[in-house]
Amino acid sequence: MSDYFDRTEDRTYTKVYKTETPDILAAFSAFDQAVFATEGREIPLKYRELIALAVGITTQCVYCIDGHSQKAVAAGASEKELAETAWVATAIRAGGGFAHGRLAFKFGGAHEH
């Protein structure tokens, strides 16, 4: 993980959100709680947490990887499921590189139409 990541210390900076934009923080917190509610959703919590983990891996957000890997395990995910989630994220990221790489040909004009 990056040198700047400090699970305990970083949380103390939430006070800026609480002081400066409490209404937005409250709205975000309510939204996040609704998305990850333990009941009342069609997709089981374990799968929502694995989706969140895959997104965190894809965007390389250490905070998301940290939090959602732990929450996925708490929701019943196995190490094999974590591994497969990481591979899914890797495949999607690689696929994005492949697909967007084609734009170099399109924009570079190196091919004939």
pTM summary value: 0.84
How far is it, in rounded angstroms, from Cα 5 to Cα 9? 9
Domains for the chain: give ranges and CATH numbers.
9-41 (no CATH), 45-113 (1.20.1290.10)
Q: What is the pLDDT of residues 15-27, one digit of tens each?
A: 999 999 999 999 9
- In the block, which residue shows the tokens 């890997």? 69
The band of 109, judged by pLDDT with boundaries at 50, 70 and 90, is confident
Calculate mean pLDDT across residues 61-81. Answer: 97
DSSP readout, 49-93? HHHHHHHHHHHT-HHHHHHHHHHHHHTT--HHHHHHHHHHHHHHH
